[in-house]
A and B are shown apart, each in its own frame.
Chain A
Amino acid sequence: MATAPAPHDPLEPLPLVVGAPDDHTINESLFQYVWKPTGRGWWTVFLISVAGVCWFLTAVVVTISKGIGTWGNNIPVAWAYGIINLVWWIGIGHAGTLISAILLLFQQKWRTSINRFAEAMTLFAVLCAAMYPALHLGRPWFAFWLFPYPSPTRMWPQFKSPLTWDVFAISTYFTVSLLFWYLGLIPDLAALRDASKKKLQRVAYGVMALGWRGSGRHWHDYRLAYLLLAGLSTPLVLSVHSIISWDFATSILPGWHTTIFPPYFVAGAVFSGFAMVLSLIIPARKFMKFEHVVTQKHIDNMCKVMLATGLVVAYGYLMEHFMAWYGGNQYEAFVFRNRRGGPYAPVFWTMIFCNVVVPQIFWTRRARYNLVIVWIASVLINLGMWTERFVIIVTSLHRDFMPSKWEMYYPTWVDWSLYGGTISFFLMCFLLFLRFLPAVAASEIKELRAEMVHDQGAH
């Protein structure tokens, strides 16, 4: 955290906290929705998402009782929606860690109002992602065979397989994100405990706060631990999507077997992650009256980040196709010709439009400051990143080395249900989070405000 704040904050003139509310008002304003009775709007959306989760469970039951045959997969397209959605969700998760950890290390103060929000998003996204590796197995009930546990057969996992790496990467990522998130929550939970009027709330939050007293001796260790967790999460988040990308890069398939994948996947992940943060926070800040802490400035910054990462992704596409041509490998060349002009070309061009064309509007200030445009763009980008994974996975598989075994892939209703289902699950978790937990890191806002007051005092 800013030990010596920069003499001139680069993020001026726009304020990160509108007005100069004192700590009490901050507390009030950030926690009020926890005390207020649940609104009708919340209930509507919540029930819709619960319905979606039931739908999801139906599809899960069908998949497990009947078999993967209920999906659209075939040989050669043995992977499809399952893996597409896995990669998509993991990617979305990345923005949270990036905002809370990397921007923390870079001392980007503006992160404070959105990091809690983004971290929660990470957790739920990773939860959604983690369902697919289990579901897409032919025999899900043996999923535990992917973990190294001593068994009489002495059969161990095969550690050369990227899938085994995934198991470790995703579980580590989830655990660390959870710890990081919870550690950050503790002071706010304490604040909730102390601000709560009702006994039940006080007990509940009291338990969650673990008896935090805001002691200076605690802050002393706490701040370092928090910083170190951020330090650990930063390489972790980069490693996770690199490993996901190795699921493809270590194979020999044309269109998968390429060294550009790790950076290109990570950039894509951040890209889609910020898009998801925006598509969630724009409505949220309105309904929950956060405009004074999640200001236009934050949205502006996030748009810029999307523009930057979007350009990296675009560069990735460009290089893929350039290399396919320049490398002179006929299989590679064909796969990319097939992406541009093959049966799945519409998906490919949708991807290009959403991920390359759309972000360009963020060059203009007007677009960045028009919430409607930003929201639509961010949703389009989420869609675009999903189509990117579809393009990478399906088009490479459906026409690979042996023309004799080329097949088309068509999703079934189960495929769609599982996708829609995880979105509902994500939404449900998120609504619960917004309802019962501090969606904005109050203590950090207070600290930030204190610094700003101090700075203004300085000049």
Chain B
Amino acid sequence: MTRQTWVLGEFATPQGMLGAVRHLRRLGYKNLDTYSPYPVEGSSEALGLPRSRVALFVLVGGLVGATLGYLLQYFCNVYDFPINIGGRPPHSPPTFIPITFEVGVLLGAFSAFFGVMALMRLPKPYHPVFEVEAFRRASIDRFWVSIAFAPAEFEKKHAAEELSRLGALQVATVVQDPASIQVYK
């Protein structure tokens, strides 16, 4: 793992945060992110995120589940061990529907939950930005913006200045070495 750097800025309002992000993007900053206690309208647009892929996961998961559900019943009661049950035909689609549906929903839900976890790279209990004590308010009542830098194009002074100029209440920089990690104010 190589050296990585985050420059963090704290804002009092979602509007301030969004404004900062838009401005930084105009300036050409990459790897921006916002942090807020609740989903802030327009942050996705501000960060210019593509459409989420969760929907696709759920669709696929649901369809696969339904198919498996039906095949399971078909295999057990029709193919592998057919028995005369009350004179009913072994393969009776109407009675197979409920379980088909349930398994479909189950796998759909799994793909939604674990899909989103995968997209968010969670669980990940530790993250360098947690090093900033003040960042704890990001989940309570403050709004943060972060810029991540690969070592190559690191120009922290400018980034930090930009953030303070954009009205950040405070700015912090987290530098992560393979060996150590420091926080600069």
Question: Chain A interface (Cβ within 8 Å of chain B)?
Answer: 1, 3, 22-24, 27, 148, 154-160, 164-165, 168-169, 171-172, 175-176, 179-180, 183, 187, 190-191, 193-195, 206-207, 209-225, 228-229, 232-233, 235-236, 239, 243, 246, 442-444, 446-447, 450
Would A444 and B54 count as touching, CB distance under 8 A? Answer: no
Q: Known A-B contacts: A1-B39, A191-B140, A220-B43. Give 16 more (CB < 8 A).
A: A23-B37, A156-B76, A160-B85, A165-B98, A179-B110, A179-B113, A194-B138, A211-B122, A211-B125, A216-B33, A217-B49, A219-B40, A221-B116, A225-B112, A239-B101, A447-B38
B residues 60-109 touching A (CB-CB < 8 Å):
62, 69, 72-73, 76-77, 80-81, 85-86, 88, 92, 95-96, 98-99, 101-103, 105-106, 108-109
By CB atoms of chain A within 10 A, which of B53, B98, B106 has the most? Answer: B98
Name the A residues within 8 Å of B3 (CB-CB): none
Q: Is the CB of B123 within 8 A of A211?
A: yes
Q: Mind listing 28 A-B residue pairs with CB under 8 Å?
A: A1-B39, A22-B141, A27-B140, A159-B77, A159-B96, A160-B86, A160-B95, A165-B102, A171-B106, A187-B37, A187-B139, A191-B139, A209-B125, A210-B124, A210-B125, A213-B35, A213-B127, A213-B139, A216-B33, A216-B44, A217-B49, A221-B116, A222-B116, A233-B109, A235-B101, A239-B98, A239-B101, A446-B37
Chain A residues with CB under 8 A of B43? 216, 219-220
Which of A3, A159, A195 contacts B99, CB < 8 Å? A159
Contact B37–A215 (Cβ < 8 Å): no
A281–B80 Cα distance when bound, in Å, is 51
User: A140 to nearest B CB, angstroms?
Assistant: 23
Q: How far is the CB of A157 from chain B (nearest CB, A)?
A: 7
In the assembled complex, B168 has its CB within 8 A of some CB on chain A: no
Judging by beta carbons under 8 Å apart, are B47 and A216 in contact? yes
Query: Complex Cα distance A375/B116, Å?
Result: 40
* B173 interfacial contact with A, CB 8 Å: no
Residue pair B36, A216 in contact (C-beta under 8 Å)? yes
Note all chain B residues with C-beta closer than 8 A to A221. Answer: 52-54, 116, 119-120
From residue A293, how far is it (CB to closest CB) to chain B in Å?
14
- Shortest distance from the beta carbon of A223 to any chain B beta carbon, whole Å: 5
Q: Which residues of B contact A187 (CB under 8 A)?
A: 37-38, 139
In chain B, what residue has the closest Cβ to A207? Answer: B125
Whether A225 contacts B122 in the complex (CB less than 8 A), given A172-B106, A215-B35, comes out as no
Q: Are B139 and A212 in contact (CB under 8 A)?
A: yes
B96 contacts A443, C-beta separation under 8 Å: no
Could you say which residues of chain B place their CB within 8 Å of the CB of A158? 77, 85
B23 at the interface (CB under 8 A from A): no
Q: Is B41 an interface residue (CB 8 A)?
A: yes
Report chain A residues within 8 Å CB of B9: none
Known: A169-B102, A219-B43, A447-B38. A159 touches B95 (CB 8 A): yes
CB pair A246–B98 under 8 Å, yes or no, is yes
B39 adjacent to A222 (CB under 8 Å): yes
The minimal Cβ–Cβ distance linking A184 to chain B, given in whole angstroms, is 11
The answer to whether A159 and B76 touch across the interface, beta carbons within 8 angstroms, is: yes
* B117 to chain A: closest residue by CB: A210
B37 near A443 with CB under 8 A, answer yes
Residues of B within 8 A of A446 (CB): 37-38, 141
* B80 closest partner in A (C-beta): A154
Binary flags per residue of B118-144, CB closer than 8 Å to A gives 1, else 0: 011011111101100000111111000
Q: Most chain-B Cβ atoms within 10 A of its Cβ — which of A165, A232, A239, A444?
A: A232
